Amino acid sequence: MTTTAAALLRTPLYDEHVALGAKMVPFAGWEMPIQYPDGIVAEHRAVRSAAGMFDLSHMGEVYLRGPAAGRAADRLVSSDIAGLQVGQARYGLLCNERGTIVDDVIVYLLEPETYLIVVNASNVSTDLAHVRKHLPSDVDLEDASMDTALIAVQGPRAPVILASVTDLEVREATIEDLAPFGVAAARVGGARAHVARTGYTGEDGFEVFVPWERAVGPWSRLLAAGAASGLTPAGLGARDTLRLESRYSLYGNEIDETTDPIEAGLGWTCHLEKDFIGRDAIAAAKERGPSRRIVGLVVEGGVARHGHEVVHDGTAVGQVTSGTFGPTIAKNIALAYVPVALSKVGTELAVRIRDRDVPARVVRTPFYKASAAARVRPSPERTELA
Amino acid sequence: MSTVPEELRYSKEHEWVRLEGDTATIGITHFAQDQLGDVVFVELPGPGSTIRQFASLGVVESVKAASDVYAPVSGEVVERNVKVMESPELVNNAPYEDGWLVKVRLADKSELNKLLTPADYRAHIGETAPNGSD
């Protein structure tokens, strides 16, 4: 390995990953596990069939507090943050005035006047600058990214596993009572925590926020408690294949400051009835209609990757944003921007892989969908119960 | 399965060669497949193609990324492993047996002198002593 490991940050679970035999790689300035000895495909399958546990402590956590925090969060984030009840979370976008995407985030209303915004690790400093620029002076901002560890337990067995080491603060409630996109204060493996029924895998699951210095306890307790249920540690490799099968956007791939929510298929996250940063530009983009759109592709005879050209009748017409082998559906899949005229399901296209045009067909997304009963995902049809 | 079998020759790019008569069987090493992770796609030249020593002969794709496979010897491809194209995980499960990639008619036996012995290859990948099974 020739990476400059010295310059990379480590999560509080670094030693746990090394002890488990993880392959550590640089990611967004962090030294993170990309996979454990069983490999990406096995970890992916474990999450679909049993459960997997991810260290997401590299992600950013930003708190907004105070009587004006709700209004500020509602103006910063594209979705209906004003409509959140205490104990609810919502997926949304940070946009700039041009109506393009600064980051995708989840906003949690933890208690009255306390909003937690979880942002991508690669965007923490950009997001903080963006938030500061637009934040009224009477709202208290705290960057808790280096104080907050995040452990995700995802998969159909996640509720059973988490319940065995968790006590909710609300007496007699269990984590089974937590609605999709619900969040509650709890103790997990002895540590003070917030448990949210959110995730990025397309399965039922939870994200557990714990203090940085207490992260090892819950991680170890969960791993031990889940062993009998098939819980496996899972790395960033499986996280990517899982999110791609579920057609979730990845910042830097499907979305960035050159893409707008409409073409990215994230128009549903934009509550155009309210005023938020980028609202007018996004409303105009919606009115105009997009010129390109993200589609799902199944590729026959090669693996499409980020940056590959999409070809129609020998001409480059678009670009692959993400591509991989989808372990659950056992097909090579990709997301790509293509002209709207070529975005219909069933359209025959090609992806240029190493100078060869490999057949690709536009398919319906998500590529994979968990049974409705066991699903937590940022989607328009989600339900949020208090 | 030894991770560096004694009867093979190796390239620095982590390919192996097994010589039988003038036929050379080529694959990637245990170390290579372990570094790549789950192999999901293999692209190989068909029979009749010519490959040149240390030039790319094909591609092995893992879940994470595509990697070139370099020819450890020059020659004409007489057979490619159709089974491995259908079941790429054979590269992970049996890199020195069912996971072989191509067989070539060796053009120049002296090219083997440019390859690594098992001891050299072990040193190259940082393995200190012959490994037993794993």
DSSP string, A83-97: TPPTTEEEEEEEE-T
**Runs of H (alpha helix) within chain A:** 14-19, 40-49, 69-76, 124-134, 158-163, 216-226, 236-245, 279-288
pLDDT at position A372 over 80: no
Is the CB of B66 less than 8 angstroms away from the CB of A305?
yes
* CA proximity to B43, closest of A305, A325, A302: A302
Q: What is the DSSP string of A242-266?
A: HHHHTT---BTTTBSTT--TTTTT-
Q: How crowded is residue A339: how many other Cβ atoms within 10 Å of its Cβ?
A: 14
Of all residues in chain A, the one with the smallest CA distance to B126 is A1
Q: How crowded is residue A310: how many other Cβ atoms within 10 Å of its Cβ?
A: 27
Residue A385: band (very low, low, confident or very high) from pLDDT cuts 50, 70, 90: very low
Of all residues in chain B, the one with the smallest CA distance to A240 is B64
Is the CB of A354 less than 8 angstroms away from the CB of B40?
no
The verdict on A259 touching B (C-beta cutoff 8 Å) is no
The DSSP symbol for B21 reads T
Is the CB of B63 less than 8 angstroms away from the CB of A241?
yes
Report phi then psi at A115, rounded to 5. Answer: -110, 130
Is the CB of A303 less than 8 angstroms away from the CB of B37?
no
The DSSP symbol for A175 reads G
Report phi then psi at A329, rounded to 5. Answer: -95, -5
Mean pLDDT of B43-49: 97
Q: Percentage of residues in chain A with pLDDT exceeding 90?
A: 91
pLDDT attached to residue A7: 86
Enter the ipTM.
Answer: 0.86
More confidently predicted of B79 and B65: B79
Burial of A97 (0-12, 13-18, 19+ CB in 10 A): exposed
pLDDT at position B132 over 50: no
User: Nearest CA to CA, how far is B67 from chain A (Å)?
Assistant: 11
Q: Which of residues 198-237 of A touch B (CB under 8 A)?
A: 237
List the end-to-end C-alpha distance of chain A, in Å, as a whole number: 49
Give pTM, 2 decimals. 0.92
Size of interface A-B (CB pairs under 8 A): 39
Spell out which residues of chain A touch residue B37, defining contact as CB-CB under 8 Å: 23, 35, 39-40, 237
* CA proximity to A353, closest of B13, B57, B59, B52: B59
Q: Which of residues 322-381 of A touch B (CB under 8 A)?
A: 324-325, 327, 332, 354
pLDDT attached to residue B133: 41
Q: Which helix (H) or strand (E) holds B104?
A: strand B102-106
- What per-residue string of b and e applies to B58-96 under the rule 16 or more CB within 10 Å gives b? bbbbbbbebbebbbbbbbebeebbeebeeebebbbebbb
Spell out which residues of chain B touch residue A237, defining contact as CB-CB under 8 Å: 37, 63-64
Q: How crowded is residue A220: how many other Cβ atoms within 10 Å of its Cβ?
A: 14
* Rounded Cα–Cα distance for residues A8 and A31 (Å): 6
Task: For A196-228, write each residue's pLDDT tens digit.
Answer: 999 999 999 999 999 999 999 999 999 999 999
Mean pLDDT of A253-280: 98
Residue with tokens 């830097």: A252
The DSSP symbol for B117 reads P
The verdict on A35 touching B (C-beta cutoff 8 Å) is yes
Mean pLDDT of A51-60: 98
Mean pLDDT of A13-23: 98
C-beta of residue A268 within 8 angstroms of C-beta of residue A80: no
